[in-house]
Chain A
Amino acid sequence: MRWSPKAPQGLTLPGDLASRLAVLAVLTIVYVAAGKVGLGLAYVHASASAVWPPTGIALAAFLLLGNRVWPAILLGAFLVNLSTAGTVATSAAIAAGNTLEGVIGAYLVGRFAGGLSAFDRAKGILRFVLFAAVISTSISATIGTTTLVSAGLAPCMAYGKIWLTWWLGDAAGALLFAPVLVLAAVEPLPHWTLRRVGEAVLLFGGLGATGVVVFHGVVPPSLSFLCVPFPFWAAFRFGRREAAASAILLSTIAVWGTFLGHGPFVAESPNTSLLLLQVFMGGLSVMILAVAAVVLQAQRVEHELRVARDELESTVSTRTDSLRQAVRALEHEVHERTRAEHGLRESELRMRGLLEAAPDAMVVADASGTITEISAQVEKLFGYGRDELIGRPVDLLVPEGLRARHGEHRRRFSEDPRTRAMGEGLELHALRRDKSEFPVEISLSPVRTDEGLLVMAAIRDITERKRVERKIRSLNMDLERRVRERTAELERSNEALREFAYAASHDLQEPVRTMGNYAELVAGRYRGRLDADADEFLGFIVDGADWMHQLLQGLLEYSRVEMRAPETAPTSMDQALEQALGNLGAAIAETGATVTSGTLPAVPSDGLQMVQLFQNLVGNAIKFRRPGVPPEVRVDVTSRDSEWVFAVHDNGIGLDLRHAKRIFAIFQRLHRRPEYPGAGVGLAICRKIVELHGGRIWVESPPEGGSTFLFTLPHTAQEPR
Chain B
Amino acid sequence: MNRSHKNPRLVEILLVEDSPPDARLVEEILRGGPVPKNVRIAGDGDEALSFLRREGEFLDAPRPSLVILDLNLPGRDGRDVLREIKNDPKLRCIPVVVLTTSGAPTDVHHAYDLQANAYIVKPVGLDAFTEAIQALERFWLSSAQLPGSP
Residue numbers in A under 8 Å from B104 (CB-CB): 556, 560
Residue numbers in A under 8 Å from B19 (CB-CB): 510, 514
Digitize B34-61: 1 where CB-to-A-CB distance is under 8 Å, 0 elsewhere.
0000000000000000000000000000
Q: Check A510–B72 contact: CB distance below 8 A.
A: yes
Given contacts A506-B72, A506-B101, A507-B72, contact A514 B21 (CB under 8 A): yes
Q: Check A546–B125 contact: CB distance below 8 A.
A: yes
B36 to chain A, nearest CB (A): 24
Q: Which residue of A lies closest to B124 (CB)?
A: A549
Q: Check A520–B72 contact: CB distance below 8 A.
A: no
Give the contacting residue for B21; candidates A506, A518, A556; CB below 8 A. Answer: A518
Tell me if B140 is interfacial: C-beta within 8 Å of chain A: no
Tell me if B102 is interfacial: C-beta within 8 Å of chain A: yes
Q: In residues 109-139 of chain B, which contact A (Cβ within 8 Å)?
A: 122, 124-127, 129
Tell me if A407 is interfacial: C-beta within 8 Å of chain B: no
Interface residues of chain B: helix, strand, loop or mixed (majority): loop
Digitize A492-518: 1 where CB-to-B-CB distance is under 8 Å, 0 elsewhere.
000000000000001101100110111
Residue numbers in B under 8 Å from A560 (CB-CB): 104
Measured CA separation A510–B78 after assembly (Å): 15
Given contacts A509-B101, A510-B19, A549-B124, contact A517 B72 (CB under 8 A): no
Tell me if A592 is interfacial: C-beta within 8 Å of chain B: no
Residue numbers in A under 8 Å from B22 (CB-CB): 510, 513-514, 517
Given contacts A514-B22, A517-B25, A517-B129, contact A506 B102 (CB under 8 A): yes
A294 to chain B, nearest CB (A): 161
Measured CA separation A239–B49 after assembly (Å): 177
Given contacts A506-B72, A510-B19, A510-B22, contact A517 B126 (CB under 8 A): yes
Residue numbers in A under 8 Å from B122 (CB-CB): 513
Q: Which residue of A lies closest to B25 (CB)?
A: A517
Digitize A404-416: 1 where CB-to-B-CB distance is under 8 Å, 0 elsewhere.
0000000000000
A562 to chain B, nearest CB (A): 14
Interface residues of chain A: helix, strand, loop or mixed (majority): helix
Q: Check A516–B126 contact: CB distance below 8 A.
A: yes
Given contacts A510-B101, A560-B104, contact A516 B125 (CB under 8 A): yes
- For the complex, count residues of A whose C-beta is within 8 A of B: 16
Q: Which residue of B lies closest to A520 (CB)?
A: B126
Measured CA separation A556–B103 after assembly (Å): 10
Q: Check B125–A520 contact: CB distance below 8 A.
A: yes
Residue numbers in B under 8 Å from A546 (CB-CB): 124-125
Measured CA separation A556–B127 after assembly (Å): 23
B141 to chain A, nearest CB (A): 22
Tell me if A524 is interfacial: C-beta within 8 Å of chain B: yes
Residue numbers in B under 8 Å from A549 (CB-CB): 124
Q: Check A516–B124 contact: CB distance below 8 A.
A: yes
Residue numbers in B under 8 Å from A521 (CB-CB): 25, 126
Residue numbers in B under 8 Å from A510 (CB-CB): 19, 22, 72, 101
Measured CA separation A673–B125 after assembly (Å): 18
Q: Which residue of A lies closest to B19 (CB)?
A: A510
B13 to chain A, nearest CB (A): 20
B75 to chain A, nearest CB (A): 15
Residue numbers in B under 8 Å from A509 (CB-CB): 101
Measured CA separation A517–B127 after assembly (Å): 9
Measured CA separation A520–B125 after assembly (Å): 8
Measured CA separation A243–B129 after assembly (Å): 186
Residue numbers in A under 8 Å from B125 (CB-CB): 516-517, 520, 546
Q: In residues 518-557 of chain A, which contact B (Cβ within 8 Å)?
A: 518, 520-521, 524, 546, 549, 556
Residue numbers in A under 8 Å from B129 (CB-CB): 513, 517
Residue numbers in A under 8 Å from B72 (CB-CB): 506-507, 510
Q: Which residue of B lies closest to A556 (CB)?
A: B104
Residue numbers in A under 8 Å from B127 (CB-CB): 520
Measured CA separation A457–B68 after assembly (Å): 89
Measured CA separation A521–B21 after assembly (Å): 11
A261 to chain B, nearest CB (A): 193
Measured CA separation A411–B122 after assembly (Å): 87
B119 to chain A, nearest CB (A): 15
Measured CA separation A556–B129 after assembly (Å): 20
A30 to chain B, nearest CB (A): 173
Q: Which residue of A lies closest to B126 (CB)?
A: A520
Q: In residues 546-588 of chain A, which contact B (Cβ within 8 Å)?
A: 546, 549, 556, 560
Residue numbers in B under 8 Å from A507 (CB-CB): 72
| Most chain B beta-carbon contacts within 10 A, residue among A517, A521, A524, A556 | A517
Residue numbers in A under 8 Å from B101 (CB-CB): 506, 509-510, 513
Residue numbers in B under 8 Å from A516 (CB-CB): 124-126
Measured CA separation A507–B73 after assembly (Å): 10
Q: Which residue of A lies closest to B21 (CB)?
A: A514
Residue numbers in A under 8 Å from B21 (CB-CB): 514, 517-518
Measured CA separation A560–B105 after assembly (Å): 10
Measured CA separation A518–B20 after assembly (Å): 12
Residue numbers in A under 8 Å from B102 (CB-CB): 506
Measured CA separation A513–B126 after assembly (Å): 9
Residue numbers in A under 8 Å from B124 (CB-CB): 513, 516, 546, 549
Q: Which residue of A lies closest to B70 (CB)?
A: A510
| Most chain B beta-carbon contacts within 10 A, residue among A506, A513, A524 | A513
Q: In residues 220-259 of chain A, which contact B (Cβ within 8 Å)?
A: none
A240 to chain B, nearest CB (A): 162
A511 to chain B, nearest CB (A): 8
B31 to chain A, nearest CB (A): 14
Closest 3 CB pairs of A and B: A520-B126, A514-B21, A509-B101
Q: Can you name 21 A-B residue pairings with CB atoms under 8 Å?
A: A506-B101, A506-B102, A509-B101, A510-B101, A513-B124, A513-B129, A514-B19, A514-B21, A514-B22, A516-B124, A516-B126, A517-B22, A517-B25, A517-B129, A520-B125, A521-B25, A521-B126, A546-B124, A546-B125, A549-B124, A560-B104
Show the binding face of A for B, using Cβ within 8 Å: 506-507, 509-510, 513-514, 516-518, 520-521, 524, 546, 549, 556, 560
A513-B101, A517-B25 known; 14 new pairs, CB 8 Å cut-off, are A506-B102, A513-B124, A513-B129, A516-B126, A517-B21, A518-B21, A520-B126, A520-B127, A521-B126, A524-B126, A546-B124, A549-B124, A556-B104, A560-B104
